């Protein structure tokens, strides 16, 4: 019986499978046991499995997604022994390498990639490409005779092989690659352009806050700064202004002294 976590996760993956199935793959859970999934793998074009229809099962443990599933392929393919567990990195043969983030889509995409390779493992067989093509040609007829296939995939029990929802657009002029990252865009030689001469950088204008801005110069300030009297008197005007300043401050100090003595008396 599936744990609560397994039940929730597998339901989520069924929705994802319906929405975005991976290329050449289709899968549905058993109506009576969500831990058992039936899958179909279609042989990609330009491979010995082209035109083939391969039915198999995923056997999930109650602890899924924390433990990997057992994987079988039931349809004779010339690559795997029918109805025998297959050993590869995403199966229950390798619990130590299992990643709980992997999903049904990830597992079946990995299985298809492994199927297209020549690596030998438990559950695999060695045949020629001609044998694989012969198995592919007979696969749909073989599936139609199997009760389990007819119960799991009634919509695929047609006189001719029916494409799975995502055939990687190969029949429609798209790519036939499986589980490969997109290639880098082609490198083109750019048209030479004249070198851009950088403009001479302008000197930034420093903005002085109003609180720190210098006040306008008065006539006395101008005289002190330039040594000239604004009125045009030159040095004579400057000395006259200096004597007046000293006399004025002398009068102020004298008055302050008289007031101080009167206060003390």
> Is residue 157 among the annotated active site residues?
no
With tokens 């609560």, the residue in question is 4
DSSP 61: -
Burial class (CB in 10 A: 0-12, 13-18, 19+), 88: buried
Dihedrals phi, psi of 39, to nearest 5 degrees: -130, 160
With tokens 């030479």, the residue in question is 192
Annotated catalytic residue: which of 87, 116, 144, 167? 87
For residue 148, what are its two tokens? 């389990």
What is the Cα Rg of the chain in Å? 45
Rounded distance between C-alpha atoms, residue 214 and residue 236, angstroms? 28
For residue 117, give Cα distances in angstroms to 22, 47, 159, 221. Answer: 18, 10, 30, 93
Strands (E), the chain: 25-29, 36-42, 53-59, 70-73
What are the residue numbers of the active site? 87
């Amino acid at each position: 019986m599936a744990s609560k976590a397994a039940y929730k996760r597998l339901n989520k993956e069924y929705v994802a499978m319906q929405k975005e199935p991976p290329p050449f793959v289709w899968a549905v859970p058993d109506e009576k046991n969500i831990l058992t999934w039936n899958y179909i793998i279609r042989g990609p074009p330009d491979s010995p499995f082209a035109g083939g229809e391969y039915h198999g099962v995923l056997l999930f443990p109650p602890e899924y997604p924390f433990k990997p599933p057992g994987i079988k392929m039931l349809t004779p393919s010339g690559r795997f022994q029918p109805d025998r567990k297959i050993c590869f990195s995403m199966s229950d043969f390798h619990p130590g390498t299992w990643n709980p983030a992997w999903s049904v889509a990830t597992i079946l995409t990995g299985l298809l990639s492994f199927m297209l390779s020549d690596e030998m493992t438990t559950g695999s067989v060695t045949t020629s490409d001609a044998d694989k093509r012969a198995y592919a040609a007979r696969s749909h007829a073989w599936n139609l005779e199997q009760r389990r296939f007819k119960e799991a995939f009634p919509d695929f029990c047609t006189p001719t092989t029916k494409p799975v929802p995502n055939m990687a657009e190969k029949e429609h002029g798209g790519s036939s690659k499986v589980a490969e990252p997109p290639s880098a865009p082609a490198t083109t030689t750019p048209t030479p352009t004249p070198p851009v001469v950088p403009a001479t950088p302008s000197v930034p204008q420093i903005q002085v806050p109003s609180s720190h801005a210098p006040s306008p110069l008065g006539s006395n300030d101008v005289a002190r700064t330039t040594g000239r009297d604004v009125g045009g008197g030159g040095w004579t005007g400057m000395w006259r202004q200096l004597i007046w300043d000293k006399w004025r401050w002398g009068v102020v100090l004298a008055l302050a002294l008289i007031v101080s003595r009167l206060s003390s008396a």
